A and B are shown apart, each in its own frame.
Chain A
Amino acid sequence: MDPVYLDYAASTPIDPDVLDVMVDTYKNVIGNPSSIHSFGRQARKVIDDARHTIAKYIGARSREIVFTSGGTEGDNMAIIGAALANQKYGKHIITTKIEHHGVFRTCEYLENQGFDVDYLDVDRTGRISLDQLKEKLREDTILVTIMFGNNEVGTIQPIREIAHLLAGRRTLFHTDAVQAFGTVDMDVKDTPIDLLSMTGHKIGGPKGIGFLYIRDGVHIASFTHGGDQERKRRAGTQNVPAIAGLGKAVGLVADDLSDRIADCLKVRKTLLQTLDRSDVDYRINGNPEHFLPQILNLYFPGTHVETLLTKLDLEGVAVSSGSACTAGSVEPSHVLTAMFGEGAPETQSSIRISFGAGSTPENVAEAGTIIARSVRELTETGRAGERL
């Protein structure tokens, strides 16, 4: 049996149409987009077209899109850039306890640099409370950074409500949309978000490219200095073929967002039905209403996440715990810890399954059968071990 890939939240295979565009760009577009000759103009057109496609999809203007190397760079640029540019108004930042490390550790870094950071709690489904956000807001709050959809448990935050709550204030609102982009409709015209970061490789685009949306009128400090590219907000020659690929990938999302959502929901249901039929004990970690369709985080009581992940890989099912590794070994997830408490069994016994373009009811059912069997074997040996 070929291994089944169910870790699309970590990275997706590149869409063949995207690859075609990139290969074509590598072959035929040789100039530097900043050059004034015909070759330069040709390259410039490629990135402008991509910028236009992206801007149109999220309801922005082209000049509001800055290309980055991906989600983490976008998060760093937005948060540090906003903090440095606005420190004259205050040094208070609000984020959550369940952010991706790209945001979480950037906030910790700023804390070490003398900024004051509040980390909002989440409930057992992974949602923040707007009331707590209101309580924490201060006169000197310069930035609120809250992720759109969580990468581990898939919970979607009340982004629209947060954006409107902050709309009348000087406080900037950044959202890390890396995981939500591609399965959630997002429109920065309707929802007054100031800064939004995303990456290409979660939506069938290439790795190493992404963008940061910066609302017109929002000033952030730049931390790459050099040429005037990206309206001086990110110096350095643009990665033209990757940008072409990103534009294509976003264009494809725009064309069939609702199909993608439906496909994910379908295989998600297949997986849950397979588990139900096999009579294995599990619970879903996440919010039953506000969730990303491609992410399914499951708690299997009595298993140990490291053993389960290793066993599943050896059996040909690639899933993840969604959390960080040190020296290859899985650390308890800060997201599950925020949801269930320090040392809670959910933090020791949960895995993340995520779906994408290559997920079919057939291979997902097959994976579900293997997952159920593995969980059963591990919990049985576990019980046998206790008896001894």
Chain B
Amino acid sequence: MTQSPGHTRVVVGMSGGVDSTVAALLLKQQGYDVVGIFMKNWDDTDENGVCTATEDYDDVVRVSNQIGIPYYAVNFEKQYWDRVFTYFLDEYKAGRTPNPDVMCNKEIKFKAFLDHAMALGADYVATGHYARVEKRDGKTWMIRAQDQNKDQTYFLNQLSQEQISKVMFPLGDLEKPEVREIARDHHLATADKKDSTGICFIGERNFKDFLSHYLPANPGEIRTVDGRLMGRHDGLMYYTNGQRQGLGIGGPGGPWFVCGKDVEKNILYIAEGKHHPALYSQGLIAEKVNWISGEPEEKVFHCTAKFRYRQKDRPVTVHILPDHRIEVVFDELEWAVTPGQSVVLYDFDACLGGGTISTVLNQGTDAELDFVDSAQI
């Protein structure tokens, strides 16, 4: 790819937020043939006909005109429903805590959208993600963002070599405050727009209400790890490991934390005190593991890992297992590792890839905590 920027078409996924706006602006300033496209993935039109997508699209229109690029929209509601939302519900049904952003990146932003962009003659797609892509030794690597606080490689762990070789992340070398500053300097309409929070299709709504529309809630018992009945839960899907709020357990003792689920018996397990051994584990098994720049040659190696977004890296030993699975053994005990979330592996600044946590190993140091293994495999 030695094409000049002017002959390189970059299709930017524009959400109407400040990050993708500045990504488009920077590419335009570098002289690329920039095209902005808004993805409509979810229809949240309310009874008054108001839809956040319409407002976001209006912002895309305004900033695209300011930057001077053509803009379009594309509808991926069906693909999003089939490939992301269905997975999201299935994971909850299985008692796990899914990560729809990871799946959205894998299936929508860097698949359906990438295909759409390529059909439009794009050489690259770009997004406002905080991450970097670099060529090293003939391979493409995903590198952590300059802004360690905003780094989003965690959510991009499922991308393939083929996908990231067609991707540009113009914000990878910038700190978030610089991005806002650039937007303000150029008087872009989205300069002071609030960052979106939470899961995109739920938005600001109450999570419990939202989920109850799609999945039947099945209330059941709350028990301590040693079997004491402590109360009733509203449905296992509303709880995740390490959760403290919303358990509704009063009386002496506590605070209480969620430490596991038995989906078959519909029991929610809790432990008393943040540092209860049942909240700690020694390792995990992950499935559907993706290696961004190829599977490492050694079957056992030491690296660092994150088990949740924005967590500090933890030193771990990885054992590569058959069928796209890995066992990850922690150097030190880890708190509230949650099935369904991603484990993402790093070699210094490079994101190696990751997988979905299917089993948490050796949870607790007590023999009586074996319940967890049977519940979570």
Indicate if the CB atoms of A330 and B70 lie closer than 8 Å.
no
Residues of B within 8 A of A (CB): 35, 37-38, 40, 45, 51, 53-54, 56-57, 60-61, 70-75, 115-116, 118-121
CB-defined A-B contacts under 8 Å, sample of 6: A311-B119, A326-B40, A326-B45, A327-B54, A329-B40, A381-B118
**Closest B-chain residue to A331, C-beta based?**
B75
Chain A residues positioned under 8 Å from B121 (CB to CB): 311, 314
Closest Cβ–Cβ distance, residue B338 to chain A (whole Å): 34
**Closest B-chain residue to A385, C-beta based?**
B115
Interface string of A311-349 (1 = CB under 8 A from B): 101100000000001111110000000000000000000
Indicate if the CB atoms of A327 and B119 lie closer than 8 Å.
no
Task: With A327-B54, A381-B118 as known contacts, state yes or no: A313 contacts B73, CB within 8 Å.
Answer: no
Cβ-closest 7 pairs across A and B: A328-B73, A329-B75, A327-B57, A327-B53, A329-B73, A310-B72, A329-B40
Closest Cβ–Cβ distance, residue B10 to chain A (whole Å): 13
Within the assembled complex, what's the spacing in Å between the Cα atoms of A306 and B35? 15
Indicate if the CB atoms of A327 and B115 lie closer than 8 Å.
no
Within the assembled complex, what's the spacing in Å between the Cα atoms of A382 and B73? 19
- At the interface, yes or no: A378 with Cβ under 8 Å from chain B? yes
Indicate if the CB atoms of B119 and A328 lie closer than 8 Å.
no
Chain A residues positioned under 8 Å from B60 (CB to CB): 328
Indicate if the CB atoms of B118 and A326 lie closer than 8 Å.
no
Within the assembled complex, what's the spacing in Å between the Cα atoms of A325 and B35? 19
12 new A-B contacts at CB < 8 Å, known A306-B72, A327-B51, A328-B38: A306-B75, A309-B72, A310-B37, A310-B74, A310-B120, A313-B72, A314-B35, A326-B40, A326-B51, A327-B57, A327-B73, A381-B119
Interface size on A, residues (CB 8 A): 18
Indicate if the CB atoms of A328 and B40 lie closer than 8 Å.
yes
Indicate if the CB atoms of A306 and B74 lie closer than 8 Å.
yes
Task: With A307-B116, A381-B118 as known contacts, state yes or no: A326 contacts B53, CB within 8 Å.
Answer: yes
Chain B residues positioned under 8 Å from A327 (CB to CB): 38, 40, 51, 53-54, 56-57, 73
Closest Cβ–Cβ distance, residue A11 to chain B (whole Å): 18
Within the assembled complex, what's the spacing in Å between the Cα atoms of A306 and B60? 17
**Closest B-chain residue to A310, C-beta based?**
B72
**Closest A-chain residue to B58, C-beta based?**
A327
Indicate if the CB atoms of B119 and A326 lie closer than 8 Å.
no
Of B70, B74, B115, most buried by chain A (CB within 10 Å of CB) is: B74
Indicate if the CB atoms of B70 and A325 lie closer than 8 Å.
no
Indicate if the CB atoms of B75 and A330 lie closer than 8 Å.
yes
Within the assembled complex, what's the spacing in Å between the Cα atoms of A328 and B74? 8
Chain A residues positioned under 8 Å from B72 (CB to CB): 306, 309-310, 313, 328
Chain A residues positioned under 8 Å from B54 (CB to CB): 326-327
Task: With A313-B72, A329-B74 as known contacts, state yes or no: A378 contacts B57, CB within 8 Å.
Answer: no
Chain B residues positioned under 8 Å from A330 (CB to CB): 75
Indicate if the CB atoms of B53 and A307 lie closer than 8 Å.
no
One of A307, A326, A377 near B74 (C-beta < 8 A) = A307
Chain B residues positioned under 8 Å from A328 (CB to CB): 38, 40, 57, 60-61, 71-73
Chain A residues positioned under 8 Å from B115 (CB to CB): 381, 385
